[in-house]
Amino acid sequence: MSSQNLSYHETRSAICEHGRSLLADDLTTGTGGNLSARLDEDHVAISPSGIPYEDIEPSDVPVVRTDGTVVEGDVTPSTELPMHLEVYEQRPDVGGVVHTHSPYATTFASLGEAIPASHYLLAFTGSEVPVAEYETHATQALGDAAVEALGEDYNATLLRNHGVLTADGSLAEAYTVALMVEYCARIHYQARAIGDPEILPDDEIDRLQGKLDSYGQ
């Protein structure tokens, strides 16, 4: 197996593993949500459409060119492929994208409310989790809306009346962001049920992001 094929296989395997984690971590239900990873400048691996996560094998994970052409795999790519490709096109710093239907964060998406920094771990995403305008799922328009909301400053956005999209330097990092978004959404929801959460100022979020960038090094 060539080094490129080995790298592709490892990435496709990682998509399988993280897909199963979506269910275990209660970030989605059924076959909802999708994940992708940048393989190189011209190729992306993305979870397939409509296959239960526990049944997906690495060979089932499609490899597509950045124009959407499938070059490896016999299974149809996720219907949200246009959204993933738009993120990679507009954010060259992004190496992994995760789309979830996690319940607490999606609650705020359905309210059309950004999630503010009522917990310091929101610094994984930016000063807040902004809300993208509603667009029909599996359309280029949804990708455009998501990218506009992400801008250059955020690693996550709520998809109005739909779910969550996270993007970071790698698939593993984007998955961590998805976990943090759901945790912070739950804390904010619970705090709102009791009273008025205190929101951390932007300068503190900037300091926290510097600490998180060096965490574990």
What whole-number distance in Å separates Cα of residue 68 and Cα of residue 46?
11
Asked whether the beta carbons of 180 and 121 are under 8 A apart, the reply is yes
- Marked catalytic residue, from 54, 80, 86, 148: 80
Asked whether the beta carbons of 165 and 102 are under 8 A apart, the reply is no
Q: Is 80 a catalytic residue?
A: yes
What whole-number distance in Å separates Cα of residue 211 and Cα of residue 215?
6
Specify the DSSP element, H or E, that contains 204: helix 202-213
What whole-number distance in Å separates Cα of residue 17 and Cα of residue 175?
11
What whole-number distance in Å separates Cα of residue 193 and Cα of residue 85?
38
Catalytic residues: 80
